[in-house]
Amino acid sequence: MFSLKNKTAVITGGGSGIGKAIAVLFAQQGASVFIIDMDDKAASDTLIEINDKENFNEETDGLAFHYHGDVSNQQQIVEIFKSIGRVDILVNNAGIAHIGKADTTSEADFHKVMNVNVKGVYNCLFAAIPLMKANGGGVILNTASVAASVGITDRFAYSTSKGAIFAMTLSVARDYLHDNIRCNSISPARIHTPFVDGFIAKNYPDNQEEIFDKLSKSQPIGRMGKPEEVAVLALYLCSDEAGFVTGTDYPIDGGFITINN
Residues serving a catalytic function are 158
| DSSP code of residue 5 | T
Longest dimension (CA), the chain: 55
| Beta carbons of 126 and 80 less than 8 angstroms apart | no
3-class DSSP assignment, residue 120: helix
The string over 35-56, giving b where at least 16 C-beta atoms fall within 10 Å of a residue's C-beta and e elsewhere, is bbbbbeebbeebbeebbeeeee
- β-strand partners of 66: 35
Q: What is the DSSP letter of 75?
A: H
In a 13 Å sphere around the CA of 95, the CA atoms on its Cβ side amount to: 26
What are the strands, taking DSSP E only, across 132-243?
138-143, 181-188
Strands (E), the chain: 8-12, 32-37, 64-68, 89-92, 138-143, 181-188, 249-252
Alpha-carbon distance 253 to 187, whole Å?
7
